[in-house]
Amino acid sequence: MRKSKMASKRKFVLHTEEELSKKQRALVPKNTRRSNEKAVRAFQAYLDEVNEPKPILELTVEELDKHLSGFWPSLRKIPKEEGGENEENEPEKYKTSSLDGFRYGLKRYCITPNSHEHF
């Protein structure tokens, strides 16, 4: 009798690819996702600036190393209407903790499967 009751209950719920993707995105907190997107946009903008035609995920380790070594010292805040520039009218540098956020965001983008699909 017990086997017949278990056979009628379903142990698994099947999901569509869209539902799975939505659940995976929900696992990453909103602020983390925004931070990741900001880091990727900034690095991709740098690659565009230095005329690198490859997307981030297609760069070799050597190319990535070369570009990251140029990216970090050149990264600056975008000036806002007021207060985004210093006395010499140059864009401000990011704080070390902000650069850490960019670094972690790029790392998550590169090592997490399918993390780039929603960018």
* Higher-pLDDT residue of 10, 109: 109
* Higher-pLDDT residue of 10, 114: 10
Task: Quote the pLDDT of residue 10.
Answer: 78
How many whole angstroms separate alpha carbon 18 and alpha carbon 3?
A: 34
Binned at pLDDT 50, 70 and 90, residue 4 comes out as: low
Total domains in the chain come to 1
In a domain, residue 101? The reply is: yes
In a domain, residue 25? The reply is: no
Q: What is the pLDDT of residues 29-80, one digit of tens each?
A: 889 889 999 999 999 999 999 999 999 999 999 999 999 999 999 999 877 6
Buried b or exposed e, range 35-74, using 16+ CB within 10 angstroms:
bbeebbebbeebbeeeeeeeebeebeeeebeebeeebeee
Q: Could you list the residue range(s) of the whole structural domain that residue 37 is in?
A: 32-78+90-119
In a domain, residue 97? The reply is: yes
In a domain, residue 40? The reply is: yes
Residue 105: exposure state from Cβ atoms within 10 A (0-12, 13-18, ≥19): buried
How many whole angstroms separate alpha carbon 59 and alpha carbon 57?
A: 6
In a domain, residue 83? The reply is: no
How many whole angstroms separate alpha carbon 68 and alpha carbon 62?
A: 10
How many whole angstroms separate alpha carbon 89 and alpha carbon 108?
A: 34
Q: First CA to last CA across the chain, in angstroms?
A: 52
pLDDT at residue 1 greater than cutoff 60: no
